Amino acid sequence: MKSFVEYSSDSDFSIHNIPFGVTVFNKEYIGCCTRIGDQIVDLATLHDLGYFEDIKGLEDNVFEAYTLNEFIELGKPITNAARTRIQELLLEGSILSKDEKTIADAFYDLDKVKMMMPVHIANYTDFYSSIEHATNVGKMFRDPDNALLPNWKHLPVGYHGRASSIVVSGTDINRPKGQTKPADADQPLFGPSKQLDFELEMAFILNRNSEMGESISTKDAEEAIFGMVIFNDWSARDIQAWEYVPLGPFLGKNFGSSISPWVVTMEALEPFRTASPKQEPAVLDYLQFEGDKNYDINLEVYLQPENGEENLISESNYKFMYWNMTQQLAHHTINGCNVEVGDLYASGTISGSDPKSFGSMLELTWRGQNPLQLKDGKERKFIEDNDTVTMKAWSEKDGVRVGFGEVSGKIIPTT
């Protein structure tokens, strides 16, 4: 496939992608969009001009909405048809390629738009599905010889997080405050976190509602998953360490999480399926699955001090995940938990076996014992004020590249 829109060979947003997002066009109005190269395409205008008129179920202009939820809720038969139509319209020699007025009205340069939150996230769950990450944390905080807790290989461990503080890439994050208890202190202290961290994650977004009492099986899960985003689950390690027993993360996590603005569909990621790591012991029946359920997605993390250079500090891959998305959703709903359109499910920190592939400062510096050396000669044990963390994700195979762009956030001093 070749598009009439020119873009570089290493663009995340090739004709093979067709992601979905929401943007402010020319500081004037908000609407749903897609991206090809560095061109942002106004889908509401294409709909008004009749480019989707023969797609049954897409009669209403859902692209005029401030989120993708209405579009996603239409279901895969319709959203896939819309994506295929957009792909056809962007091809060289298409009807749209010859429609100069529509191109002038509906196509925007990247620097003329401001990306918004792509979906309204009703509910958010964070999993803990990388065996390498769980093992590293277990070695640091518990017994190195028994790093994994007894339940870890039997179910996808997770917890319900805070949806209201999930923000789109480019949004500053305030350094959180809370209680901490240093090892040499008799009583807890209150103040800004001194061990602020990122967590390299991916997340998937649901396209349906369900009733209480319903479950979604591993077999049916893929029909319920619209697409994926990059996810940075910022973490205050010192606050978390003091508060998490017995009920788990709270102030150490709920102050902010960042997502990339483009939702990449599972259909765009189809060529990059890969086998999951072997699960031993065998899982219970409701968690069993058939076929390749993991995805080969390259991941990078960069740290940039204020007015300094970017430092590549981690290179990982989503294919390392021990528990896959279908298992996560099946476990989440096996007890009859109802779900909603736009629900977001994060993978948990993604780490590989190589120390360079660890997905958090906690692991990269081994709890601060081995500080990272930056290009400017300074060190980092954790994230400091005015540091910017950027994560990138993409898949590439046989000359086809599909990427997510990036999620970026800057830590600003507490107020």
- Annotated binding-site positions: 126, 128, 142, 199, 201, 233, 240, 244, 253, 257, 349
List of E strands, 105-211: 107-109, 113-115, 124-127, 158-160, 166-168, 173-174, 177-180, 189-192, 196-197, 200-206
Give me the count of residues in the chain: 415
Residue 331 annotated to the active site: no
d(CA 251, CA 359): 21
DSSP state letter for 40? E
DSSP state letter for 165? T
Give the chain's end-to-end CA distance (angstroms, integer): 51
> Which residues fall within 8 angstroms of residue 30, CB to CB, at 6 or more apart?
22, 23, 24, 66, 116
Tokens found for residue 97? 């390629």
Cβ atoms of residues 36 and 43 within 8 Å? no
Binding residues for Mg(2+), as ranges, are 233, 253, 257
The closest alpha carbon to 86, from 30, 33, 38, belongs to 33
Cβ atoms of residues 204 and 225 within 8 Å? yes
d(CA 229, CA 382): 24
CB-based burial, 40-55: b 16+ in 10 Å, e otherwise: bbbbbbbbbeebbeeb
Kind of pairing between the strands at 264-265 and 225-232: antiparallel
Radius of gyration of the chain (CA): 22
Out of 16, 47, 133, 154, the active site residue is 133
- What one-letter code names the amino acid at 175? R
Catalytic residue ranges: 133
